[in-house]
Amino acid sequence: MVVLRKSTQEEFDRWFALSMERQAEDRAWVNGTDPKAERAQLEAMIPVLLPKGMDSPDHAFRVARDEAGNELGFVWVGVAPGAPEGTCVLFDVHVHEAHRGRGVARAMLEQMLESLKGDAIKTVVLYVRADNAPARALYTKLGFVEEETPEGAKDLQMRKTLEPDPEDERAHTFERQHVVVSGLPSTRAILDIGGGGEGVIGRIAGERVIAIDRLRQELEEAPAGPLKIVMDARELGFLDKSFQTVTAFFSLMYMKAEDHPRVFEEAFRVLAPGGRFLVWDAVIPPRTGEKRDIVVFPMTIDLPDGKVVSTGYGVRWPDGGRDAAYYRHVAEAAQFEVVSEHATERHFAMELAKR
Ligand SMILES: C[S@@+](CC[C@H](N)C(=O)[O-])C[C@H]1O[C@@H](n2cnc3c(N)ncnc32)[C@H](O)[C@@H]1O
């Protein structure tokens, strides 16, 4: 089994250096130039292509591992500056020599292509050396088609149009939301409800965070730092008044409306008097038709340290929709007092207090 995960900084540094070296060699072969000169040219382009390194918006760096955790390979896709809308480039895919010939590259690419489908990407292009027959055969199997090139060209462009997914017809994708998360309270421990996935609160407050999530896998995928516990927010395993701060960052949208009262009551119970429940969530309008029953919110999240998380949160479209007023009522029914509320058209942030 091949499991594709976001790369850590250490993995990125290692793989990216290797990727630059390999790409410089390929370009030197194609152009009949010196690899060192090509490498210098590539490196000069990095600040434009990847202004925020591995966290640059519109780029994905993934590392593949097997079940035993062995590192198998690396894949990088991203949007090149000035590229036509909806087009991304498969910049690199690489498998450790020891793991070649076992379908790893194919599995990595299949997963990567699948993950792009919900992301407004319609076309993927790649460049491959004309003499790399195995790679060309693999890309062809995955549905890439070679563009016409002059006779004797040493590199080829291949292109794949992502097939419309039946899910796409069901999904309504809202405009990209830009969320700026400013500093969190400096309290000793922060309980983050639904803290798996991108683990945004954990990225900000690290070891101060106790991230709970119903799904083990979501916690495993979130970056390291917080104490991660598989736990249901409807029944928190903490004593009363244990925390000064509880957070829910785009987690409540993943819960059924019938569970919200219980989750707010639990947050209230585990907070100490004077404590705060900080909620960020999507404003979901009422559902309009039968066919479209999934809502997707592409998000760009600015963290206090200048890093940017680019992701998308998608859920089944609740019939009646949900806005800040809906959550305010649930919060007040659980005895919270609303301290502040900032809403845009499609998302809101709310600070709730336990008096
Ligand atoms: C995708 S995450 C949302 C964003 C996440 N906070 C982040 O920073 O990226 C939402 C999580 O809420 C979790 N969740 C849904 N219902 C839950 C419940 N009753 N108890 C705990 N976690 C729950 C889901 O498993 C999911 O991982």
Domain boundary among 163, 196, 229: 163
Residues 181 and 289 in one domain: yes
- Percent above pLDDT 90 for the chain: 67
DSSP 130: T
Best mutation site among 177, 221, 251 for ligand 1 pocket (most ligand atoms within 8 Å of CB): 251
Beta-bridged to residue 193, according to DSSP, are 212
Residues 309 and 331 in one domain: yes
The rounded distance, in Å, linking the Cα atoms of 249 and 271 is 17
For 85, the token pair is 């809308």
For 239-272, b where at least 16 C-beta lie within 10 A, e where not — what string? eeebbbbbbbbbbbbbbeeeebebbbbbbbbbbe
CA angle at 269 for the pair 267 and 317, rounded to the nearest 5°? 30
Is pLDDT at 167 greater than 70 in this prediction?
no
Total domains in the fold of the chain: 2
Count of other CB atoms within 10 angstroms of residue 164: 10
Residues 191 and 274 in one domain: yes
Count of other CB atoms within 10 angstroms of residue 145: 11
Q: Find the 135 Cα to ligand 1 centroid distance in Å.
A: 39
Q: Can you give the pLDDT at residue 297?
A: 92
**Per-residue pLDDT reduced to its tens digit, 47-71:** 999 999 999 988 999 999 987 889 9
Please give the single-letter amino acid code of residue 198.
E
The rounded distance, in Å, linking the Cα atoms of 240 and 259 is 20
Residues 250 and 332 in one domain: yes
Q: Whose CA is nearest to atom 26 of ligand 1?
A: 194
Please give the single-letter amino acid code of residue 38.
E
Q: Can you give the pLDDT at residue 121?
A: 85
Residues 220 and 263 in one domain: yes
Is pLDDT at 165 greater than 70 in this prediction?
no
The rounded distance, in Å, linking the Cα atoms of 99 and 105 is 9
Q: Can you give the pLDDT at residue 54?
A: 92
**Per-residue pLDDT reduced to its tens digit, 261-286:** 999 999 999 999 999 999 999 999 99
Count of other CB atoms within 10 angstroms of residue 19: 20
Atom in ligand 1 nearest the alpha carbon of residue 309? 9
Residues 236 and 151 in one domain: no
Q: What is the phi/psi pair of residue 92, to 5°? A: -160, 145
Average pLDDT over residues 304-324: 89
Is pLDDT at 117 greater than 80 in this prediction?
no
- Residue 8 maps to which CATH number? 3.40.630.30
Residues 185 and 143 in one domain: no
Residues 111 and 14 in one domain: yes
Q: Whose CA is nearest to atom 13 of ligand 1?
A: 194
Give the domain range for residue 257.
Answer: 171-353
Atom in ligand 1 nearest the alpha carbon of residue 311? 9
Q: Whose CA is nearest to atom 9 of ligand 1?
A: 198
The rounded distance, in Å, linking the Cα atoms of 349 and 82 is 34
Domain boundary among 130, 163, 196: 163
Listed ranges 1-10, 262-271, 296-305; the one with the highest mean pLDDT = 262-271
Which of 184, 175, 130, 121 minimizes the C-alpha distance to 157?
A: 130
Residues 159 and 195 in one domain: no
Average pLDDT over residues 165-177: 77
Split at pLDDT 50, 70, 90, the class of 149 is: confident
Is pLDDT at 152 greater than 90 in this prediction?
no
Please say whether the dihedral angle defined by the alpha carbons of residues 228, 234, 237 and 239, taken in this order, is positive or negative.
Answer: positive
Residues 233 and 132 in one domain: no
Q: Can you give the pLDDT at residue 85?
A: 84
Split at pLDDT 50, 70, 90, the class of 168 is: low
Domain boundary among 116, 145, 163: 163
The rounded distance, in Å, linking the Cα atoms of 138 and 143 is 9
Q: Can you give the pLDDT at residue 141?
A: 86
Split at pLDDT 50, 70, 90, the class of 92 is: very high
Best mutation site among 214, 231, 347 for ligand 1 pocket (most ligand atoms within 8 Å of CB): 214
Residues 138 and 282 in one domain: no
**Per-residue pLDDT reduced to its tens digit, 225-235:** 999 999 999 99
Q: Find the 56 Cα to ligand 1 centroid distance in Å.
A: 24
Q: Find the 91 Cα to ligand 1 centroid distance in Å.
A: 32
CB 128 within 8 Å of CB 88: no
Residues 87 and 180 in one domain: no
Q: Which residues form ligand 1's pocket by a CB distance below 6 Å?
A: 194-200, 212-215, 218, 232-234, 249-251, 254-255, 259, 313
- Residue 248 maps to which CATH number? 3.40.50.150
Average pLDDT over residues 308-329: 91
Split at pLDDT 50, 70, 90, the class of 307 is: confident
Is pLDDT at 150 greater than 90 in this prediction?
no
Give the global pTM.
0.62
